[in-house]
Protein backbone atom coordinates (compact mmCIF):
# COMPACT_ATOMS: atom_id res chain seq x y z
CA UNK A 1 0.00 0.00 0.00
CA UNK A 2 1.24 3.45 -0.86
CA UNK A 3 0.04 6.87 0.16
CA UNK A 4 0.11 9.64 -2.42
CA UNK A 5 0.08 13.31 -1.55
CA UNK A 6 -1.08 15.73 -4.21
CA UNK A 7 0.17 19.30 -3.74
CA UNK A 8 -0.69 22.47 -5.62
CA UNK A 9 1.23 25.71 -5.15
CA UNK A 10 0.62 29.26 -6.33
CA UNK A 11 4.02 30.71 -7.27
CA UNK A 12 4.83 34.41 -7.50
CA UNK A 13 4.98 35.17 -11.22
CA UNK A 14 8.49 36.60 -11.22
CA UNK A 15 9.81 33.65 -9.16
CA UNK A 16 8.53 30.70 -11.17
CA UNK A 17 11.83 29.79 -12.84
CA UNK A 18 13.78 30.09 -9.58
CA UNK A 19 11.19 27.95 -7.82
CA UNK A 20 11.44 25.19 -10.44
CA UNK A 21 15.25 25.30 -10.29
CA UNK A 22 15.13 24.95 -6.50
CA UNK A 23 12.49 22.23 -6.67
CA UNK A 24 14.76 20.14 -8.90
CA UNK A 25 17.02 19.74 -5.85
CA UNK A 26 14.15 18.18 -3.92
CA UNK A 27 13.62 15.16 -6.19
CA UNK A 28 16.83 13.24 -5.37
CA UNK A 29 16.47 14.14 -1.70
CA UNK A 30 12.92 12.78 -1.59
CA UNK A 31 14.08 9.60 -3.36
CA UNK A 32 16.87 9.17 -0.81
CA UNK A 33 14.23 9.08 1.94
CA UNK A 34 11.98 6.55 0.21
CA UNK A 35 9.61 8.87 -1.64
CA UNK A 36 8.68 8.63 -5.31
CA UNK A 37 7.80 11.78 -7.22
CA UNK A 38 5.04 10.55 -9.52
CA UNK A 39 4.66 13.70 -11.59
CA UNK A 40 5.14 17.44 -11.52
CA UNK A 41 4.02 20.16 -13.88
CA UNK A 42 3.95 23.92 -14.19
CA UNK A 43 0.90 25.78 -15.46
CA UNK A 44 2.48 29.00 -16.67
CA UNK A 45 -0.91 30.55 -17.46
CA UNK A 46 -1.77 30.55 -13.73
CA UNK A 47 1.75 30.34 -12.21
CA UNK A 48 0.77 27.13 -10.47
CA UNK A 49 3.01 24.18 -9.71
CA UNK A 50 1.35 20.80 -9.12
CA UNK A 51 3.03 17.58 -8.08
CA UNK A 52 2.35 14.19 -6.53
CA UNK A 53 4.66 12.30 -4.21
CA UNK A 54 4.17 8.79 -2.81
CA UNK A 55 5.57 6.75 0.05
CA UNK A 56 4.88 3.19 1.14
CA UNK A 57 2.47 2.93 4.06
CA UNK A 58 -0.47 4.92 5.34
CA UNK A 59 -0.71 8.68 5.78
CA UNK A 60 0.72 8.51 9.31
CA UNK A 61 3.79 6.67 7.99
CA UNK A 62 4.02 9.26 5.22
CA UNK A 63 4.07 12.03 7.84
CA UNK A 64 6.78 10.28 9.87
CA UNK A 65 8.94 9.80 6.77
CA UNK A 66 8.42 13.43 5.74
CA UNK A 67 9.40 14.68 9.20
CA UNK A 68 12.54 12.53 9.06
CA UNK A 69 13.31 14.05 5.66
CA UNK A 70 12.64 17.65 6.73
CA UNK A 71 14.75 17.23 9.89
CA UNK A 72 17.67 15.75 7.93
CA UNK A 73 21.01 17.49 7.36
CA UNK A 74 20.45 17.13 3.61
CA UNK A 75 17.19 19.08 3.76
CA UNK A 76 18.89 21.72 5.91
CA UNK A 77 21.58 22.05 3.23
CA UNK A 78 18.96 22.55 0.49
CA UNK A 79 17.23 25.20 2.62
CA UNK A 80 20.57 26.92 3.27
CA UNK A 81 21.32 26.97 -0.46
CA UNK A 82 17.96 28.61 -1.10
CA UNK A 83 18.48 31.12 1.70
CA UNK A 84 21.78 32.13 0.11
CA UNK A 85 19.81 33.41 -2.88
CA UNK A 86 16.68 34.63 -1.08
CA UNK A 87 17.04 36.63 2.12
CA UNK A 88 13.47 35.84 3.18
CA UNK A 89 14.47 32.18 3.48
CA UNK A 90 11.11 31.05 2.14
CA UNK A 91 10.07 29.76 -1.22
CA UNK A 92 7.90 32.24 -3.14
CA UNK A 93 4.84 30.00 -3.02
CA UNK A 94 1.54 29.57 -1.28
CA UNK A 95 0.25 26.04 -0.74
CA UNK A 96 -3.24 25.93 -2.24
CA UNK A 97 -4.08 22.23 -1.83
CA UNK A 98 -2.55 19.37 0.11
CA UNK A 99 -4.51 16.14 -0.24
CA UNK A 100 -3.73 12.55 0.77
CA UNK A 101 -4.85 9.62 -1.32
CA UNK A 102 -4.40 6.29 0.47
CA UNK A 103 -4.21 2.76 -0.95
CA UNK A 104 -3.11 3.68 -4.42
CA UNK A 105 -1.87 1.24 -7.02
CA UNK A 106 0.23 2.94 -9.68
CA UNK A 107 -1.16 1.48 -12.89
CA UNK A 108 1.29 2.94 -15.38
CA UNK A 109 4.72 4.37 -14.86
CA UNK A 110 7.04 5.13 -17.76
CA UNK A 111 10.23 5.69 -15.79
Check which CATH number belongs to the domain holding 74 and give it: 3.30.70.100
Q: Using CA atoms, how far apart are residues 62 and 53, in angstroms rounded to an integer?
A: 10
Quick check: 93 pLDDT over 70?
A: no
Calculate the CA dihedral of residues 84, 71, 10, 42 and round it to 10 degrees: 90
pLDDT for 90 equals 55
Domain count, the chain: 1
Any domain includes 110: no
Domain span holding position 37? 2-102
Give the predicted TM-score (pTM) of the model: 0.75
Any domain includes 61: yes
Quick check: 107 pLDDT over 80?
A: no
Any domain includes 59: yes
pLDDT for 28 equals 92
Any domain includes 111: no
State pLDDT tens for residues 30-87: 999 999 999 999 999 998 888 999 999 888 899 999 999 999 999 888 877 766 555 5
Amino acid sequence: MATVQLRRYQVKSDELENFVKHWDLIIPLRQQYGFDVLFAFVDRSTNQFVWAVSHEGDSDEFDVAEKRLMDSPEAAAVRAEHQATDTSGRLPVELLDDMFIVKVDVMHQIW
